[in-house]
A and B are shown apart, each in its own frame.
Chain A
Amino acid sequence: MTKLHIKTILNSEPVEFLCEPVETLLDALRDRLNLTGTKEGCATGDCGACSVLLNRRLVPSCLVLAAEIDGQDVLTIEGIAQGETLHPIQQKLLEHAALQCGICTPGFVVSAKALLDQNPNPTEEEARYWLAGNLCRCTGYDKIIRAVMDAAESMRSDETQ
């Protein structure tokens, strides 16, 4: 099969690569572009470990074809921190010890960022329902939700300063 030539903006940088027509975005990120921060947990869109933002929209990259990102804008976990500065979500997850094995953490960071971009002041229930697409087997979600709520508050108070 002839490979497709894809040009995209990935984590704010112009990127080009070749891929098979049937290849998923997840596989292209991990195997073509060596961005292994996005994880495969199920390949059927059920676990959220492969979450990325496509044109600022939260998607499971295992259900997006690599070909679909031609000319589009993609943000992965590798693009969330800004230089030396962690995103507040990342910082709060660390402070709240909201990760144990850490495999779901990149997916949660991306999903939570999408939540707070859209709704800077979520209730606990809103946060839980938004994040229901991200499976975690280690934490029982308690500390993750606390961390996300804490990050939201910290981001709101940074805004007002």
Chain B
Amino acid sequence: MSGERVFKYVGTRPIRHDGLDKVTGRANYGADFTLPGLLHGYVLRSPHAHARIMSIDTSAADAMPGVKAVITGADIPKTTGVVLLGKEGRYDLGDMGDNLLAHDTALYEGHAVAAVAATSVEIARNAAERIIVHYENLSPVLTVDQALAPGATILHDGLVTKGQPLPDAPTRTNVAMRTELRRGDVDKGFAESDIIVERQFTTPMVHQGYIEPHACVARYGEDGQILVWTSTQGQFIVRDCCAGILGVDAATIKVIPSEIGGGFGGKIPVYLEPVAIALSRKAHRPVKIVMSRDDVFRASGPTSGTKVRMKIGVKQNGTIVAASGSLYYEAGAYPGSPAGAGAMCALAAYKIPHFVIEAYDIVVNRPKVAAYRAPGSPSSTFATESILDEIANRLEIDPIDFRLKNAMMEGDQAPYGPKYGPIGLKQVLESAKNHPHWKAPLGPNQGRGVACGFWFNAGLSSSATVSLSGDGSATVVTGNPDIGGTRVAQALMVSEELDIPIERVRPTVADTDSIGYSDLTGGSRVCYATGMAVIKAAQDVRDQLLARAAKIWDVGVDKVTWDNGCAVPLEPSADRTSLTLRQLAEQMPHTGGPIIGRASVSAPMAGPAFAVNMCDIEVDKETGVSRVVRYTAIQDVGKAVHPSFVEGQMQGGAAQGIGWALNEEYLYSPDGVMQNAGFLDYRMPVASDLPMIDTVLIEVGNPLHPYGVRGVGEVPIVPPLAAVANAMNDATGIRFTDLPLSPPRVLKALLRN
């Protein structure tokens, strides 16, 4: 596959086309857009974690000079639509609509209850503070334990446990879904095990932490035509969600995606756009709304805090025989945690004949969770990889050899059913074993940990057009916001197919009017699925060029072939030698008109990715402060189209995982108010926290893609949680099961021991 083909452009490292704009501040992000007559919106949010909204009096706000519109949930009636991302993601528009502007009940502190549009943000905020909301306080449930306790406050009357509920489950419940994966006979498996380790783990609710807050501008025209400019991972999702939530035809909405300042899954749902549209409709002027950082923490979509119980049984010779687990994931205020995915990922790397894993999606009075890079996988993998580390220690087997012994290979059956195609797990483990990091000596108070990770990678739908100019340059247009260098990767693919130098290919991310439907940027799918569409569109151009050459030479199209950027006749003659792409492009008006190549794909899921991380950590035993002193990330990337940006994904995901393991968490007061909604106290890694992050790219081609491309963006965040915790165990002798391993917790544990 990718091993056979020799690439000319793919695999090189050109400077990205949008790079100049980004290093000079010219690139326009969500908050950088303006329209004539712009108003500024401000969202009023509930100070209570759980409260019935008895009444809202907006009269004082309405009367303030400079205020042009005030809305509440009554202005956006409830809906029952659903937006499906294929059969992969399912967005309940009723929940999404209620989430962005509450109707009856505030379900978390920060839940939007009203919004104001005014001539300045100051005026809008002052007006919002004059809105009188009567709340009737209800007791909140903040953790999965509280939500499951007998007599717990129920968030949603009529919530029924979907999926595979237990037969004796209570009818009034906060459990939105239960799923189960099962194989063989776990009792038999554990009976055959020589060593069994069972532990309970917790991971905190954390935020994706993108540096750009949500921002949009919306203009509602009196003819019903709607324009939206927004920072999003999916402009078509914004369009379809706004249409469904507002009850308008999607054809009336044009969504222009701005450059996006990070997303990681958190900018897939809509929060502001329908509110801005509704305000604009009332005010008859465009409205801009930008979230504050405080709003982002309290009212966008962090990922689930979790409780995971896991038990693994192993034979003395290191063969894993049985595993059982119970995963409890916070969904936030509405159903939809990635518990099911967590269950599928927990055991995905290892051949285990007997297992049963159950996963619970549990509503609590916290913000509705959104996707965060490999959603579900980091928390469940943390449990598995920690227990395997403990077992390897007990068996005195090298932790990498232990994993190699049990590693899944092509043809093995995944825990969720189908057989794996070509996968690179063994290769990444071998690479780790042979990497100098694994053998490097450790200093005092230092420890080393290793862990694996898995992610599926999405497929979904994408469209692409490639157009040729008369001078032989090309444009490639797709519908996927560029979060991490995908634009230049797409240009590389066009260069590869048409042999046009990269500087003569212009990649563009288009709005919803200017390109066919495309699913989101995310799910590690853009290089894979959108790339497939780009390659097909470029090949379409090539086919048309061959037809044009055939016309010029007056031969059948089957008598022309493509070679090295030229059309070449199979039967050359004096006046039939070859025609370059440029020559053919110049002739376009004479040979049939403009050449536009187009393609759309609905790709199956991309082919899974496996990664291994090695972490060296140094612990200050007097303060509990720990520092990562060395880090290596190894991953099967399929085919690296632009290797620098693939490395970037691996390094960025590792940094997020390290932050999750060491410092990040949502801290709540007992009555459900977030205490650390800012970057000072929500402590993400800074440059001085981290060493260089070494990367090794292993390429086991994905047969589903013409170049072997595999999704790369998400799996990097999966191994670090356990890699860090395992390193801490090596450094301190303490098995940490509750994240984050912040200094106070580490110190407490050190003092206890």
Report if B15 contacts A (CB, 8 A): yes
Report if B679 contacts A (CB, 8 A): yes
> Which residue in A47, A78, A143 is a CB contact (below 8 Å) of B25?
A78
**Which residues on A sit within 8 Å (CB–CB) of B15?**
94-95
Given the known A-B contacts A44-B678, A95-B15, A103-B262, are A138 and B648 also in contact in the complex, defined by CB atoms under 8 Å? yes
Pairs across A and B, CB under 8 Å, 25 listed:
A38-B25, A39-B29, A41-B261, A44-B679, A47-B211, A77-B25, A94-B16, A94-B23, A96-B644, A97-B645, A100-B645, A101-B262, A101-B263, A102-B18, A102-B27, A103-B212, A109-B23, A128-B688, A131-B688, A135-B684, A137-B208, A137-B209, A138-B652, A141-B685, A146-B692
**Which residues on A sit within 8 Å (CB–CB) of B122?**
20, 22
Question: What separation, in Å, do the CA atoms of A102 and B645 have in the docked complex?
Answer: 13
> Smallest CB-CB separation from A146: which chain B residue?
B692
Determine how close the nearest CB of chain A comes to the CB of B682; give it in whole angstroms: 9
Q: Mark B613-653, 1 if CB is under 8 A from A, else 0.
A: 00000000000000000000000000000101101110111
B26 & A46 in contact (Cβ 8 Å cutoff): no
Report if A80 contacts B (CB, 8 A): yes
Report if A76 contacts B (CB, 8 A): yes
B292 & A105 in contact (Cβ 8 Å cutoff): no
B692 & A142 in contact (Cβ 8 Å cutoff): yes
Report B313-368 residues with CB < 8 Å from chain A CB.
none
What residues make up the interface of A, taking CB atoms closer than 8 Å to B? 20, 22, 30, 35-44, 46-47, 49, 76-78, 80-81, 86, 90, 93-97, 99-106, 109, 124-125, 127-129, 131-146
Given the known A-B contacts A101-B261, A138-B648, are A37 and B25 also in contact in the complex, defined by CB atoms under 8 Å? yes
Given the known A-B contacts A96-B644, A137-B210, are A90 and B23 also in contact in the complex, defined by CB atoms under 8 Å? yes
Q: With A128-B690, A141-B685, A145-B692 given, name 18 new contacts (CB 8 A).
A: A20-B122, A22-B122, A30-B31, A39-B29, A42-B678, A93-B23, A95-B15, A97-B16, A100-B484, A101-B261, A104-B261, A132-B687, A137-B656, A139-B648, A139-B651, A140-B655, A141-B686, A144-B687
**Which residues on B sit within 8 Å (CB–CB) of A138?**
262, 483-484, 648, 652
Question: What separation, in Å, do the CA atoms of A78 and B24 have in the docked complex?
Answer: 6
CB-based closest 8 A-B pairs: A37-B25, A103-B261, A102-B22, A140-B655, A97-B644, A140-B651, A46-B679, A77-B25
Question: What separation, in Å, do the CA atoms of A156 and B656 have in the docked complex?
Answer: 34
B29 & A135 in contact (Cβ 8 Å cutoff): no
Given the known A-B contacts A47-B211, A100-B483, are A81 and B24 also in contact in the complex, defined by CB atoms under 8 Å? yes
Report if B182 contacts A (CB, 8 A): no
Determine how close the nearest CB of chain A comes to the CB of B699; give it in whole angstroms: 18
> Smallest CB-CB separation from A129: which chain B residue?
B688
Interface residues of A: mostly helix, strand, loop or mixed?
loop
**Which residues on A sit within 8 Å (CB–CB) of B644?**
96-97, 143
**Which residues on A sit within 8 Å (CB–CB) of B689?**
132
Report if B497 contacts A (CB, 8 A): no
Question: What separation, in Å, do the CA atoms of A137 and B664 have in the docked complex?
Answer: 13
A132 & B25 in contact (Cβ 8 Å cutoff): no
**Which residues on A sit within 8 Å (CB–CB) of B209?**
137
Question: What separation, in Å, do the CA atoms of A36 and B32 have in the docked complex?
Answer: 6
A76 & B25 in contact (Cβ 8 Å cutoff): yes
Q: Mark B202-213, 1 if CB is under 8 A from A, else 0.
A: 000000111111
**Which residues on B sit within 8 Å (CB–CB) of A131?**
687-688
Report if B604 contacts A (CB, 8 A): no
**Which residues on A sit within 8 Å (CB–CB) of B27?**
102
Report if B86 contacts A (CB, 8 A): no
B13 & A97 in contact (Cβ 8 Å cutoff): yes
Given the known A-B contacts A102-B259, A103-B262, are A41 and B688 also in contact in the complex, defined by CB atoms under 8 Å? no
Number of A-B contacts (CB under 8 A): 180
**Which residues on B sit within 8 Å (CB–CB) of A77?**
24-25
Report B1-41 residues with CB < 8 Å from chain A CB.
13, 15-16, 18-20, 22-29, 31-32
A86 & B262 in contact (Cβ 8 Å cutoff): no
> Which residue in B19, B26, B483, B680 is a CB contact (below 8 Å) of A44?
B680
Report if B654 contacts A (CB, 8 A): yes
**Which residues on B sit within 8 Å (CB–CB) of A78?**
24-25
**Which residues on A sit within 8 Å (CB–CB) of B678?**
42, 44, 46
A94 & B20 in contact (Cβ 8 Å cutoff): yes
> Which residue in B485, B680, B685, B690 is a CB contact (below 8 Å) of A100?
B485
B22 & A135 in contact (Cβ 8 Å cutoff): no
Report if B260 contacts A (CB, 8 A): yes
A41 & B212 in contact (Cβ 8 Å cutoff): yes
Question: What separation, in Å, do the CA atoms of A95 and B15 have in the docked complex?
Answer: 6
Most buried by B among A101, A104, A140: A140
> Smallest CB-CB separation from A35: which chain B residue?
B25
Question: What separation, in Å, do the CA atoms of A125 and B122 have in the docked complex?
Answer: 42
Question: What separation, in Å, do the CA atoms of A40 and B212 have in the docked complex?
Answer: 7
What residues make up the interface of B, taking CB atoms closer than 8 Å to A? 13, 15-16, 18-20, 22-29, 31-32, 122, 208-213, 259-264, 290, 292-293, 483-485, 642, 644-645, 647-649, 651-656, 678-680, 684-690, 692-693
**Which residues on A sit within 8 Å (CB–CB) of B32?**
30, 36
**Which residues on B sit within 8 Å (CB–CB) of A38?**
25
B679 & A135 in contact (Cβ 8 Å cutoff): yes
> Smallest CB-CB separation from A34: which chain B residue?
B34
**Which residues on B sit within 8 Å (CB–CB) of A20?**
122
A134 & B648 in contact (Cβ 8 Å cutoff): no
Question: What separation, in Å, do the CA atoms of A145 and B686 have in the docked complex?
Answer: 12
> Which residue in A76, A109, A137 is a CB contact (below 8 Å) of B262?
A137
Given the known A-B contacts A100-B652, A102-B27, are A128 and B293 also in contact in the complex, defined by CB atoms under 8 Å? no
**Which residues on A sit within 8 Å (CB–CB) of B686?**
132-135, 141
Determine how close the nearest CB of chain A comes to the CB of B480; give it in whole angstroms: 13
Question: What separation, in Å, do the CA atoms of A104 and B259 have in the docked complex?
Answer: 13
> Smallest CB-CB separation from A110: which chain B residue?
B25
B483 & A101 in contact (Cβ 8 Å cutoff): yes
Question: What separation, in Å, do the CA atoms of A30 and B25 have in the docked complex?
Answer: 11
> Smallest CB-CB separation from A92: which chain B residue?
B23
A100 & B648 in contact (Cβ 8 Å cutoff): yes
Question: What separation, in Å, do the CA atoms of A144 and B652 have in the docked complex?
Answer: 12
**Which residues on B sit within 8 Å (CB–CB) of A40?**
31, 213, 290
**Which residues on A sit within 8 Å (CB–CB) of B687?**
127-129, 131-132, 134, 136, 141, 144-145
Most buried by B among A30, A105, A134, A138: A138
Given the known A-B contacts A102-B259, A137-B211, A138-B484, are A94 and B25 also in contact in the complex, defined by CB atoms under 8 Å? no
Determine how close the nearest CB of chain B comes to the CB of A139; give it in whole angstroms: 5
B24 & A42 in contact (Cβ 8 Å cutoff): no
A39 & B688 in contact (Cβ 8 Å cutoff): no
**Which residues on B sit within 8 Å (CB–CB) of A80?**
24
B690 & A135 in contact (Cβ 8 Å cutoff): no
Given the known A-B contacts A100-B485, A141-B655, are A43 and B293 also in contact in the complex, defined by CB atoms under 8 Å? yes
> Smallest CB-CB separation from B31: which chain A residue?
A40
Question: What separation, in Å, do the CA atoms of A143 and B485 have in the docked complex?
Answer: 14
> Smallest CB-CB separation from B692: which chain A residue?
A142
Determine how close the nearest CB of chain B comes to the CB of A20; give it in whole angstroms: 8
> Which residue in A42, A106, A140, A145 is a CB contact (below 8 Å) of B293?
A42
Determine how close the nearest CB of chain A comes to the CB of B20; give it in whole angstroms: 7
**Which residues on A sit within 8 Å (CB–CB) of B653?**
140
Question: What separation, in Å, do the CA atoms of A117 and B690 have in the docked complex?
Answer: 24
**Which residues on B sit within 8 Å (CB–CB) of A140?**
648, 651-655, 685, 690, 693
**Which residues on A sit within 8 Å (CB–CB) of B262?**
101, 103, 137-138
Determine how close the nearest CB of chain A comes to the CB of B426; give it in whole angstroms: 26
Given the known A-B contacts A36-B32, A140-B690, are A102 and B261 also in contact in the complex, defined by CB atoms under 8 Å? yes
A37 & B26 in contact (Cβ 8 Å cutoff): yes
**Which residues on B sit within 8 Å (CB–CB) of A136?**
211, 687
Most buried by A among B19, B22, B28, B687: B687
Question: What separation, in Å, do the CA atoms of A105 and B26 have in the docked complex?
Answer: 11
**Which residues on B sit within 8 Å (CB–CB) of A127?**
687
Given the known A-B contacts A129-B688, A132-B687, A140-B690, are A105 and B652 also in contact in the complex, defined by CB atoms under 8 Å? no
Question: What separation, in Å, do the CA atoms of A22 and B483 have in the docked complex?
Answer: 35
Question: What separation, in Å, do the CA atoms of A109 and B27 have in the docked complex?
Answer: 14
Determine how close the nearest CB of chain A comes to the CB of B216; give it in whole angstroms: 15
**Which residues on A sit within 8 Å (CB–CB) of B484?**
100-101, 138
